[in-house]
Structure 1
Amino acid sequence: MEAATPLPLASVRTRAGRLYVESLVVEDECAVRLASEREQAGADAVKLVLDAIEIGARVLDREQAGAQADFVKAEFERAARDLDAQFVERARRVAERLDEKLEEAFGPEAGHVTRALERHFSDASADAVQHKVRDVVRDVSAQMQHELRAQLLAEGEENPLAKFHRVQLAVAKQTADAHSQQLRAVVDKLEATRLEVERLRAEGEKLEEVAAERERGSAKGRTFEEEVADAIEQIAAAQGDDAAAVGDVKEASGKTGDVVVGIDGCAGPPRGRIVFEAKNSRLSRPEALRELDRARSERNADFAVLVVAGAGKVPARMRPLREYNGDKLIVTYDPDDGPPLELQVAYALARARVLMRHGGGEGIDAEAVRASAERAIQALGEVQRIKQQLTASKTAVDKAAEIVETMAAGVKTSLAEIQALVAAPPDSEKTAPAR
């Protein structure tokens, strides 16, 4: 860009934001040429002049601003160099001063802070913080323990564990009551179980006794029949009668009837027949009557006698040595009781009944026979009573013997204790060697 040509201004002034130029003459070739071209073109040259002024003003302003910026930059750089040098010098002085102060405050030997720390935190110092803290903590701990002990031992609401203690007591009481109830229930259950076990044991013993009795009865069945047959044979032989054991011999329609007696059978044809049925088990009254009727029918006998093993085997609602229907009789016989008196009486009654039936009563005093039978039955009752008394006496004698044996054993024990006491040396003799 070419340099601006100086303008010979007659008068230049600014007013109200406008620039007023009077008597302006421009000699710049470029400006003249442009104005000439504009005039030749028929355009307004004033606008060209205005544009030239405005554009020139802006260019001048921009160049002036750039010159000022360079100046400012140069000044800033110079000021920065001066400031940097001053800062370095001041920082050096500050560092030296800071080192002196730090050495004065934190020096290992003469530093104020070091001496203060040694005084307040050294173990050798009596004013050390840890010692004071320890003393304070000890005092506070002792006081807290005392207060806590007082609170825990208090009975009122100031005790923090009072509510918990009451709850624990209530829970313990409730637990104890529950345990007591459970134990009581267990004891009751154990007692019921014990009673049930005892009942079952008693039932088991009864069942075992019944089974043993049943086994003894099964094993003793033939033996009892044989013993009955032997006893009847002896009674019959003494009176000239014929007795035969027919338990295994089938006659008529069956084998009912164990012994058949032919009256006066040893001297000739029998004058009548008596059948004996031996039973080691208890029958009911209807069964016993049917059994005797069947035996009398199958053995073609005139009289039937049921022989049972003991009073406990007599059929229900029937009595021994009593006739039933004029041709049946019940009698008990136990081979271990000695002479068969009941069996002899039953034999005599049955024999007399058969003889009276077959002989038409000739030569037989029925009243005398009945009276004799009653006397015999009464005598048998006396015999049974005396046997029971003898049994009771024997039991009492056995118990007395057991008591005597127990007393004798006690006396022997006392004698042994006396002998031991006599044989033992006195305490003085025991301690004499020690002295």
Structure 2
Amino acid sequence: MEAATPLRHPRVHVLMGRVIVENVVVDDPATAAFIDRRISAGDDPVDVVNDAIEVGARILEREQAAVDAEFVKNEFEKVSREVETAFTDKARVVAEFFGTKVDEVFGEENGHLARELQRLFGEGSTAAVQHQLREVMRDQSARMREDLLRQFSSADGSNPLADFKAAHLRTAREAATRQEAQLDAMREQMVALKLEIAGLRSEREKAAEVAAEHARGTAKGRPYEEALAEALESIARGQGDDCDAVGDFRGGGGRKGDVLIDIEGCSGAPRGRIVFEAKNSRRSRKEALSDLEEAMAQRAADYGVWVVPSAEQLPARVEGLREVGGDKMFVVYDPEDGSRLALEVAYSLARARVLMAKGGVDGLDAPALRAEVERALGAMDEVRRIKLHLTNAAGGIEQARAVLDSMAERVRAHLAQISSLVDEAGETA
């Protein structure tokens, strides 16, 4: 059977600096596999084909330039060999010509000089021919020089090197013209490529700078860190403590820790330190504890608090306001929620822990303090449950908010009692 005539023939057009390809099939497994991999990776097929054609065109153009240079080199070598051969032949002819001339003049038997010497200095000659001989030699030498000079200096066919000189000059001129044109084209391409590379390098550097700046500003959640520092500043001011945002400053070996609290730092030497680490992304429990330990070591803190904006960002199997190891705590603080009660509880518990660990509170009623802590944590559980009810139930919002405010006041009363017990124990000591 005859093969079916294709309905659409492949066509390629070049219009206004653009290439338009219609119904072209590339029968190349390697090309097909490459484009299939790029498409599978999520790249745009049209962009992939455009990149392949553009890169291939540039490579073919460079290869053509290299082929032209090689062609010029081969042609120059060929012409050089031909010129060398022609020069050798011409030199042979010249040598034979001069040999014939020398034989005609200086031949032993038939040479003109020999005949003249025989005639002038023969046995039957009586005339002195020394001067005549000198004149003859001078005339012959001058004539030979003139003939040789005329032959090699003329531009017509009598000069055996005229064709060689003309061919050599013509070939050299043509080769220089072609080479200069190719060099100009390559120079223009190199300038364009350099400009393109410089533009790409500049864009890449700008993108890297933007990415780095973005990473510095948002990697740890700069807005969240600033909101946490503002809330802690307000809490610390009421306790007579000193609050300092240290996230941008290097501590003893690193930059761990975002907010540092110096207990009673406003009235003298601090009695202890609490470091707060703010994160707006979820980390594992192991990573969080490791970061808190590094922050405490780098900031010379006695207690570390891990703060996140939502309960979903707490590490797995970790609840808010639960201590770990007696010197670390996890807490949830959402600036958009409008309540910093949980942060106040964490602050007060950490403060009490540091003061108890530092000593000087021998008169502290530990059972009473422990009971107040348990009551505060229990009240916080009720606060969380009420918030949950407020989220799920719309009918009793106002009443629930009143109960919530009441519970918040109870929590603050317990916190005040804790601070009172700690202060009284310190004064008694």
The TM tier, using the shorter chain, reads: 0.3 to 0.5
Tell which has more relative contact order, 1 or 2 (C-alpha 8 A, sep 6+): 2
* Structure having the higher Rg: 1
Question: How high is the TM-score relative to the length of structure 2?
Answer: 0.41
